[in-house]
Chains A and B, each alone.
Chain A
Amino acid sequence: MSLRAVIAGGLLVLLALVGAACDTIPDYPNKPLAAGAANPPPADLIGPDPGAPLILIAFSGGGSRAAALGLGVLDELAGHSYPASGSPVALIDRVKVVSSVSGGSVVAAWFGLVGPARLDELKTDFLERANMKTLEWEATDPLTLARLSFSSYTRIDALRDLLDRELFHGARFADLRRPSAPLIVMNATDMESGEVFAFTPQRFDDLCSDLDQLPLSVAVAASAAFPVALSPMSLRNYSYEDCKSTIPGGGWIAAELTLPLPRYTNFEGYKRARYANALRNGEDAYRDEHHLHLLDGGLVDNQGVQSLTKVLVSPHSPARILEAINSGRVRRIAVIAVNAMADKDNGVGGTQRFRDC
């Protein structure tokens, strides 16, 4: 057999493998809500003392550098306190909302899951290990290649499995419901609409899907699904199936879309309502979203501040922070944006001129 025939045969096998992988239907990680049920809102984040500071943090993307920087910031907050009646309270205990993107979502989910006491385990169990090497080894493993080729298993599933195996051990969003736990908002990008997709109870109401049952590793992996290197994380939108009529809430969506002026006075709010209406399969939806394909949150907002701003100023956020401000239940708020962007010198400014050669 000639070399040309061997190469041609090899290419045919490769095409067949790729074709087989593309034809498979994904196993969706999200489950539907029970009929008539809604995702429970977050617990009260404010507390009884109006003078106690309320701290909101946004962790940016930036891979393991972002996770390490976020961990460092939380360590610092654990080492400082404010004078409360009685004894001083560590600032980390007043972190009540964390919004995150990509690498920042690793530390956000871990903080939400274990709280301040076991934060350092993130360093030893995950950050100090060569996780990318592990992924690279798995990518060249013949068994993994066969699984990627002949089943619905994708590259993003490999990352999700790694996160579960090394760090989250099957923990789900329901496990974030510890007493005094912060609200964790992990952000991805909806490939179709280009909107920020936040893993919140309100957003999962839109999908008629049960957030509590979703593994944390799914949200972290979706938030970090860097395009091309990783495949998108796919979710199923049950609002396009049989539970549309039982989706709770949504009064604000109707108000934003039917009143004449919101699209001029608050275009961002109008866009959010339009997107939620589409996810809910509502009247005159501007696009169909039967399935969602999520990529790295950094494609839209690598700082994670869009969702943080929404939690803080939207009257419709289930966190109820704006209401607490307006009714005097909270008087001190600190917003910390943790930006892990590497702003390296690329040498362009030091070049005298560019030549066409």
Chain B
Amino acid sequence: MSVEYLLVVYNGDRDVVADGDRVGVTNHTILLAPDEYIISLSGDGYAPASADVVLAGTSIMRPKVVVFT
């Protein structure tokens, strides 16, 4: 099984949630299995409410980047 890399950018420290489960924290590269995920953050007051992300073909140097504001 390969590993994919996800970087969730947010102006603050939040938990990163994939399909309802915490998987890591914002602004740090996260390891996940290749898959399609609904990504959101803990707490509220950010946008968009969630992001549909397909993780495939990433690398540690080129992670999939998702930005919440």
* Given known contacts A265-B35, A265-B36, A265-B54, A326 and B25 CB-to-CB distance under 8 angstroms: yes
CB < 8 Å: which of B19, B30, B36, B54 contacts A316?
A: B19
Quick check: B28 and A315 within 8 Å, CB to CB?
A: no
Quick check: B23 and A322 within 8 Å, CB to CB?
A: yes
Contacts of A323 in B (CB 8 A): 21-24
In the complex, A255 Cα to B54 Cα: how many Å?
Answer: 12
CB < 8 Å: which of A256, A260, A315 contacts B23?
A: A315
Nearest B residue (CB) for A266: B35
Contacts of B54 in A (CB 8 A): 261, 265
Contacts of A259 in B (CB 8 A): 36, 38, 52
* Given known contacts A265-B54, A322-B31, A325-B31, A260 and B36 CB-to-CB distance under 8 angstroms: yes
Of B1, B19, B52, B55, chain A has the most CB atoms within 10 Å of the CB of: B19
Chain B residues within 8 Å of chain A by Cβ, number = 25
Q: Which of B1-54 contact A (CB under 8 A)?
A: 1, 3, 16, 18-25, 28, 30-38, 52, 54
Judged by DSSP, the binding face of A is helix
In the complex, A145 Cα to B68 Cα: how many Å?
Answer: 68
Judged by DSSP, the binding face of B is strand
In the complex, A262 Cα to B38 Cα: how many Å?
Answer: 11
Q: Is A351 an interface residue (CB 8 A)?
A: no
Nearest A residue (CB) for B24: A326
In the complex, A327 Cα to B20 Cα: how many Å?
Answer: 17
CB < 8 Å: which of B1, B23, B34, B38 contacts A255?
A: B38
Quick check: B22 and A314 within 8 Å, CB to CB?
A: no
Quick check: B25 and A262 within 8 Å, CB to CB?
A: no
What 20 additional pairs, Cβ within 8 angstroms, besides A315-B33, A323-B23?
Answer: A251-B20, A252-B21, A255-B37, A256-B35, A261-B36, A261-B54, A262-B35, A266-B36, A313-B33, A315-B23, A315-B32, A316-B19, A320-B22, A323-B21, A323-B22, A325-B31, A326-B23, A326-B24, A326-B31, A327-B25
Residues of A within 8 A of B (CB): 251-252, 255-256, 259-262, 265-266, 268-269, 309, 313-316, 320, 322-323, 325-328
